[in-house]
Amino acid sequence: MYNPFHVDWPHYLPDIATGIRWTIEFTVVSFVLAAVWGLILALARGSRLPPVRWFSYGYTELFKNVPIITEIFIIYYGLGQVGLTLGTFSAGVLSLALFYGAYLAEIYRGALLSVPETQKEASAALGFTSFQITRHVVLPQAVRVALPGTATMLVDLLKTTSLLITIAASELMNQAQTIASETFRPMEVYIVIGAIYFVMCFPLSRLTLLIEHKLAAGVALSPMRRRTLRAIRRHNAVVDAAGAR
């Protein structure tokens, strides 16, 4: 019987495991940094100080309009040339965080702007301070708007870690290349590696879709809100029962 699989996969399992581990590490660390950096940039964009706004605008446009591979090379090889040598991991994480920070900043900014002024006014009229307005009214609404775009960026970032092959990071794509060059079976190897990327990314996409649906259906995601809603229902059930008697 024809067997399309000729590569001795069990033999390469440890390499693939290493690749997956690095891919996940690059993704998680870069994404956390990008999320924080993006939020800072988004808030800077609404700053009262013009230079802060200009910096945020210029930065975002710059990083949105230069290919990430160029950026990776500048940070890894370019900085190395001028004496600032970064390790593969630092260079990779820095490139991804700076690049995706710009995209996330755009998503966050749109989300913050999507909360109407009247919401801030209504909460001010209740006696909320501006910090309380941001914390309890603007951010919870903005998060719901930002969630789909943010999730798309997370999946995109995971796939983009494959470009770090160019600076010899030991992530999944690099392992694939090694295996392919040892076995001379690029078709089989890259299809398997592609499948592994798919298996990592697809659940992420589905998960965020699920969260979106839950939010849209009004399901409380925070434990505190769940408790509050349960307490309200319990209270009303008691009142109804008392009323029926």
* Chain contacts with another protein (rule: CB under 8 A): 118-119, 121-129, 132, 136-137, 140-141, 144, 218, 225, 228-229, 231-233, 235-236, 239
Q: Which residue has the tokens 């925070």?
A: 222
Give the three-state DSSP class for 128. coil
CA-CA-CA-CA torsion for 100, 47, 111, 159, nearest 10 degrees?
A: 0
Q: Write out the two tokens for 218.
A: 């009004």
- Residue pair 112/144 in contact by the 8 Å Cβ criterion: no
Q: How far is the CB of 149 from another protein (least distance, A)?
A: 18
Considering beta carbons, is residue 72 or 115 the nearer one to another protein? 115
- How many alpha carbons lie under 13 Å from residue 79 in its C-beta half-sphere? 17
- Residue pair 114/148 in contact by the 8 Å Cβ criterion: no
Considering beta carbons, is residue 111 or 157 the nearer one to another protein? 111
Q: How many residues does the chain have?
A: 245
Considering beta carbons, is residue 3 or 245 the nearer one to another protein? 245
Considering beta carbons, is residue 61 or 240 the nearer one to another protein? 240
Residue 167: DSSP 8-state: G
